[in-house]
Every structure is written in structure tokens, then in C-alpha cells.
Structure 1
Amino acid sequence: MFRAIIVDDEKPALDILKLLLEKTDQICVVGVFSSAADALAGVKDLKPDVAFLDIEMSYMSGLELARKFVDMGIGLEIVFVTAYDKYALEAFRVNAVDYILKPFSSDDIARVITRLKRVNPLPAVSQIPADKGRIYCFGTLSVYGAGDDKAVKWRTAKAKELFAFMLENLNSKVAKWKIAQVIWPECEMEKQFNTYLYTTVYKVKKTLLSANIKFDFTFIDGSYIMELPEVYLDTAEFEELTASDIELSEASVEKYKRALSLYKGNYLEDNEYFWSQNKSDEYLRRYRILVSEFAKYYITGKDYSNAEKVLLEALKKAPLDDELNERLLKLYYTKKDKASLISHYSKIKELYKSDLGITPNKVMQELLSDISEL
């Protein structure tokens, strides 16, 4: 599937083209931009295979933008989009793969895909890297072997916990005494602990081998180290996507939607490992920032429906979060939705009292008091 970006300062045309491209199931639109400047800022992160550029735009034409992409050394194909055919010759001078006129048709898109495949063929099925195994840690620990659609079954609960602990410390040495302290805190005799450890390490290795997952689990100078060189890990992708300051824009919204979708639940929440709390808190912190930024992004665009949706989903994972509850109440206030504001306030008032023995904070109380003004 080709990764595409669209740059057009006319939103209706942009939306129609996006719809037509995605209906083909051969092009995935990874970014949409209403200005050339935003496209220049976001193109490197999105790594598109093809850019659909409107020629006549304010401040910078699609032709100029295409030349800047070339100057930046970005290897992508160009398809020009315009309402006029007078630019055809100039468009092809910058090596455009195609040139389509508004209004678009399905035949135009089919022709573009044919040309794209000719100049930049997608890899054959045999060339696409095979599934090397997948590990998901958000919500509950689930490990899938290479090519499997059912999660592996662990021989014992301790084998699963040891794997999870080593996974949290992936590619790092973990002292044997630390493993003992975390996994077998009740064990006082070293000899007994050694027996437990060697047996459990063996079970972890057997499970990974049976799932055809490539790994290295070795003992070096009093420490163990586990490596999983080819396995997909949801937390690793989430960390990469949220590594820098989170700033939503047309250029980055698809990237951050992906990060939001990865967070199925709090880190190892269903497994209830006490030692995972610090990491869980860090991921939850990033997720809360992400949710807050999405709420602001949608509210600024007056997309109240999506703002409410993202906040309600987040509150399933962190129901006692003051900031998220405030944002949702403020959203209902902005929408002048009295019924929803009263209902949600009543819900959190009861929850705060039963779980924390406190009342909602002053900001939330004032929002309820001000409801008569709506």
C-alpha cells in the first residue's frame, strides 16, 4: 500500500480526494495539509511514497513545493492536482508521475495508481518481512508467536511474570539478586531461589522457542539480559511516537492518532505486577498529555463530538483524573449541554467520595454552579 500526503488549500477538494484515494484500498493517506509550509514541516516524519499537490495555492504553489521536496532530498513521487490544464507541461518538467484535473473521478485515481506501480512498484508478497512475533503490554500482557493469531500460553504464572520483568528491562543487564527480590520476595535461601530461577528461565525459553520468536536470554557476570531483536512491541512504538513534545497539527494528527490507538489500557494493568507501577505511571502521563492535546485540537476546531469521545475513552482508564474530568465538564459547559454536565458531575462526585473520600475540586464545583447561566 502506498503512503500518501495531500496538499490543497481548498478543504472540500482535499476531503474528496482523500475519500477517493482511501476507497481504492491501495493508498493510505498519512497526512493532509492546507498549506505548503505545514507540508514541508511534516513530510519527513510521515515518510510518504507519493504527494498529491494542488498547483494553485496561496503563498507557495504546488510546483514550488515539489521543487523544495526535491531540494530536501525526499524520495517521493509527485501527482499534481489542479482545476486548469495550462500547467501540464511545467508539471511534467519537475518529473511528476501524473497530473489530474478537478473534479476528480475514480478513473483518474485508477490511472494514478497504475503509474505509481510502474515507477515505484510495491514489494511482492514474498519480499514483505514476515511476522516475527508481536508483544502487547497495554492492558494485559499478550505475546503472539511468528504468524500466530492466538496468544501463547505460559507454563506457569512465574514464567510469565519473569518474562514481563525482563521485557521491561529489555536489552539491559538485570542482577540476579534483583530478580530474586522482585519475582520471589518470599524466598530466603539462595539455593532454593537458584532452583526456581533456572527452572523458570528454562520455561520462558521453551515458550519463546515454541512460538518461533527469535531471542537471546543469557547470564553474564551475575546478571541476566534478554534481547528480542525482531519482535514488534507496542510500548516501543508508543515511546517512539511520544518521545518529543506533543504538538498536534494537520501534519502530525495521524501520527498521534496512532499513538492514541496503541494505548488499549494502562501498562500491564490486568497482570497486577507491583514492580510495573513506575513504568505504568510514565506511560499514563504521556497518554494524558496526548488526550489533553487531542481535546484542545478538536475543541479549537469546534469538533465537540470527537473531543467528548476522546475524553470519555481516557476516563475509562483514569476515572479519577482531575484534569480530564475538568476538561470534559468544561466541554459540556461550552456546548451548553446542561444534562451531560450535571450527569457527569454527579457520577464523579460519587466516585471521588467512595474511592478517595473527597469532593470534586473547586473548578468542577464552580462549573456546576455556573450552569444556571447557560
Structure 2
Amino acid sequence: MLRAIIVDNEEPATQILQMLLEKTGQIRVVGTFLRAADALSSLRLTKPDVAFLDIEIPDTSGLELANHILAMDSDVEIIFVTAYDHYALHAFRVNALDYLLKPLLPEDVERAVRRLIKRKGLAKDSAPESPLGANIHYFGKFSVYGPASKKPVKWRTSKAEELFAYLVQNLEKEVPKWRICEALWPEYHSEKVDIQLHTTVYKLKKVLTAANIPFDLSFSNGCYWLSLPQAAIDKVEFDAHIASSVPVNQNTIARCEHALSLYTGDYLEENGYLWSLALKAEYGQKFYKLASSVVNFYMTQGDWVRAEKILRSILERCPLDETVHEMLLTCYFTQKDRTAFITHYHTVRKLFQAELGLEPGKSIQTLYHSLLKRMD
């Protein structure tokens, strides 16, 4: 999958382009930027294969930005996106691969992606992720994709899927058989559970083999051990970022945004495995901490639009978090958006009354009334 960055001073345009690119299944957007300087400072981190650049951006022109990008990495392909066609000649003078006119049409984006793939010498049906191994998702719904496959694996039984999820959670660790049985079949007697486990292991192996997923599943000294060569696993990548403990700053913001993008839902939230509940809470706290740090960074930078976007993603998972609601009210106040400010507060009041039978806490009420006076 090719890596792309987008530089455009219009947030809605950025979102539309990102949606159209990722819909092709060939592009992963690793960074979106409103300013050229931010894109350049993050270039070594994002390592894009292609840059989609608006020509009219505030701190410089897209044409100048393209020259700076190519000076740093001559392998990056440039595709310009603009509402004005009179820049076309200038665009191709910097050896741009393509030139897209707004409003963007899906067929134009798809055509540009096809040209990009041809230029890069990639197969059109290349797999979205991990071309040689499995691609596994834990956030939201557990799903497994085989090499070069865009459709998730179909499991013979729900227990085979659950066993695989449990083993991948403990990847390359010895997992005692009794612990597996206790997690997956707590209601079964020991004699029957052995049969269930052996049958499920057999079905699991059959599914992985049929999906061409490389794996090594062994049993020794009463323990199972699973290895998945070259597998891409969202929780592993998220864990790696959290473990690095990098501070959120101009140089790391693209990495932090990417880590947040992996968190498409709570840990195995759609599967409801009892053994995953503790980790669901743990990952929820990790997401909250990282997202809050990213919001604080954007707020200190005065980037209220991006701060609002992250705050709303937090509220999707923590709708009753008063601190987040206060930060969102502050965003609206700073942007002088009186309508959004008042509407959001009354939405919060209705939410708290419906869910808790209470008014919002004193802190959020005080903030609302004090800021409202300053807006009058």
C-alpha cells in the first residue's frame, strides 16, 4: 500500500480527498496538513510515496512546497489539487504526476491512483496491508485478512475465531492449555473441554491454511505457542507507539495521529469476549491519554479545527466526560462560534439528564456561563 500526505488549507477538502484515496484500497493517508511548514517538518517521519498538494496554501505556494519536498526526497511523486486550471503548466514544470481539479470526482482520483501505481511499478491488485502475511484488526471488530485479500477470513465456527483472537493476543508466548480452556469454555467439564479444544485447533489451522496465512502453532509442555511471520496487527503497532512514550510535538504529531487512526473502536468491542474486557478498559485509557495529549498540542498551536476533530472522536467513546466537553466548548469560544457553543452546551445538558438524571457538573456550568458573558 502506498503512503500519501495531503496539504490543503481547507479541512473539508482534505477529508473528501482522504476518503476517495483510501476507498481505492491502494493508498493510506499518513498525514494531513493545513500548512506547508508542518508537512515539511514531518516528511522524514511520514515517508510518503506521494504528496497531494493544493497550489494555494497560506504560508507558501504548492509549487514551492513541491520543490522543497523533492529536494528532501526525489522519489516522492507530486499530484496537485486545486480549483484553478491556469496553474497546470506550472505544475507540470515541477514534474508533477497529475493535476486534479476541484470539486474532486471519484473517477479522477482513481485515474490518478492508477497512474501512480503504474509509475511505481506496483500490481493493481496489491494487498492493502502486509502483502506476505496476515493483516489483523483488534480495534472495533476482530477481523483477519489473508495475503492479497481485501475480504476478511470466514471462520468455520465462532470458537475457532475466538481461539485465534486469544492466541494472537498472546502472540509468541507460551499459553497454558488450562488457561485457554478456562477463557473459552468456562462452563465445560475437563473431559469435554479437551475435545472441544482439539477440534477447534484443527478447524483454526484449516482456515489459516486455506487463507494462505503463514503461521506456526505448536504444543509443548502443556502450552500452545503461536507465531505469525510478517503479520500486520493494529494493536501491536498501537502498543509500539505507546511504549515509545514520545512527547507530542511538531516532529511527532504525524506518528501520534497515525496511532490514533488505528483505534477505530474499542478493543474487540463488537465481539464481547469476556476475557478481553480488562484489556478493553486498558486500551480505552491509552487511547484517551494519547488523544488528550494530541488535543492539547493542537490547542497550544491554535489549531482549533483539528483539536475539535479529536475531541469529537473521544466523545464517541466517552460521551459523559465533562473535561472533554469543557475543552470542546473552549474550542467553540475561541473560534467565536456562538451557535455551536450554545448548541453543544444544551446538547450536553440533555445528554446528562437522559443518561444520569442530573445536570452537568458545576465546573462545566461555570465555564459555560462565564464564557457566554464574554461572547455577548
Matched, 1:203 2:207: no
**CA distance 1:165–1:46, change in 2 (3 Å):** same
Q: Give a deviation string over 1:126-178, Cα, whole Å, max 9, x none.
A: 9x783533211111111122223322222222222111111111111101111
Does the 8 A contact of 1:31 with 1:252 survive in 2? no
Alpha-carbon deviation of 1:213?
Answer: 1.0
**CA distance 1:234–1:368, change in 2 (3 Å):** same
Does the 8 A contact of 1:345 with 1:368 survive in 2? no
Please list, as runs of the form range in 1=range in 2, the aligned pairs for 1:1-374 lying within 5 A after superposition: 42=42, 44-47=44-47, 107-109=90-92, 111=95, 122=120, 124-125=122-123, 130=131, 132-189=133-190, 191-245=191-245, 247-334=247-334, 335-336=337-338, 337-353=341-357, 360-370=360-370, 372-373=372-373, 374=375
- Could you tell me how far apart the structure 1 residues matched to 2:44 and 2:218 are? 38
Secondary structure class of the residue paired with 1:271: coil
Does the 8 A contact of 1:144 with 1:151 survive in 2? yes
Q: Give a deviation string over 1:174-217, Cα, whole Å, max 9, x none.
A: 0111111111111232x222111101111111111121111111
- Could you tell me how far apart the structure 2 residues matched to 1:112 and 1:75 are? 12
**CA distance 1:106–1:194, change in 2 (3 Å):** farther
Among all aligned residue pairs of Structure 1 and Structure 2, give the percentage whose two residues are the same amino acid. Answer: 35
Q: What does residue 83 of structure 2 align with?
A: none
Does the 8 A contact of 1:218 with 1:224 survive in 2? yes
Please report the RMSD computed on the Cα atoms of aligned residues, expressed in angstroms.
Answer: 4.8
The number of residues matched between the two structures is 331
- The one-letter code sitting in structure 1 at the alignment partner of 2:198 is Y
**CA distance 1:33–1:247, change in 2 (3 Å):** farther
**CA distance 1:170–1:188, change in 2 (3 Å):** same
- Could you tell me how far apart the structure 2 residues matched to 1:288 and 1:164 are? 24
Does the 8 A contact of 2:30 with 2:46 survive in 1? no
Does the 8 A contact of 2:217 with 2:225 survive in 1? yes
Does the 8 A contact of 2:133 with 2:228 survive in 1? no
Q: What does residue 19 of structure 1 align with?
A: none
Q: What does residue 93 of structure 1 align with?
A: none
Alpha-carbon deviation of 1:321?
Answer: 3.0
Secondary structure class of the residue paired with 1:266: coil
Secondary structure class of the residue paired with 2:140: coil
**CA distance 1:135–1:225, change in 2 (3 Å):** same
- Could you tell me how far apart the structure 2 residues matched to 1:32 and 1:174 are? 44
- Could you tell me how far apart the structure 1 residues matched to 2:145 and 2:6 are? 36
Alpha-carbon deviation of 1:264?
Answer: 1.3
Secondary structure class of the residue paired with 1:270: coil
Secondary structure class of the residue paired with 1:132: coil
- Could you tell me how far apart the structure 2 residues matched to 1:201 and 1:29 are? 37
Does the 8 A contact of 2:268 with 2:276 survive in 1? yes
- The one-letter code sitting in structure 2 at the alignment partner of 1:291 is A
- Could you tell me how far apart the structure 1 residues matched to 2:75 and 2:148 are? 31
Uncovered stretches (5+) of structure 1, i.e. residues with no partner:
13-22, 52-56, 80-102, 115-120
- Could you tell me how far apart the structure 2 residues matched to 1:47 and 1:277 are? 36
- Could you tell me how far apart the structure 1 residues matched to 2:36 and 2:145 are? 42
Alpha-carbon deviation of 1:265?
Answer: 0.7
Secondary structure class of the residue paired with 1:143: strand
Alpha-carbon deviation of 1:279?
Answer: 2.0
Alpha-carbon deviation of 1:347?
Answer: 1.6
- Could you tell me how far apart the structure 2 residues matched to 1:224 and 1:40 are? 47
Q: Give a deviation string over 1:66-86, Cα, whole Å, max 9, x none.
A: 9xx8xxxx9978x9xxxxxxx
Alpha-carbon deviation of 1:42?
Answer: 5.0
**CA distance 1:177–1:341, change in 2 (3 Å):** same
- Could you tell me how far apart the structure 2 residues matched to 1:206 and 1:158 are? 14
Does the 8 A contact of 1:32 with 1:250 survive in 2? no
**CA distance 1:322–1:182, change in 2 (3 Å):** farther
**CA distance 1:250–1:184, change in 2 (3 Å):** same
Alpha-carbon deviation of 1:269?
Answer: 0.3
Secondary structure class of the residue paired with 1:269: coil
Uncovered stretches (5+) of structure 2, i.e. residues with no partner:
10-19, 52-59, 79-85, 99-118
- Could you tell me how far apart the structure 2 residues matched to 1:142 and 1:6 are? 28
TM-score normalised by structure 1 residue count: 0.68
**CA distance 1:207–1:2, change in 2 (3 Å):** closer
Does the 8 A contact of 1:133 with 1:232 survive in 2? yes
Does the 8 A contact of 1:30 with 1:254 survive in 2? yes
Does the 8 A contact of 1:132 with 1:232 survive in 2? yes
Secondary structure class of the residue paired with 2:270: helix
Does the 8 A contact of 2:146 with 2:212 survive in 1? yes
**CA distance 1:245–1:359, change in 2 (3 Å):** farther
**CA distance 1:193–1:5, change in 2 (3 Å):** closer
- Could you tell me how far apart the structure 2 residues matched to 1:107 and 1:35 are? 18
- Could you tell me how far apart the structure 2 residues matched to 1:330 and 1:349 are? 22
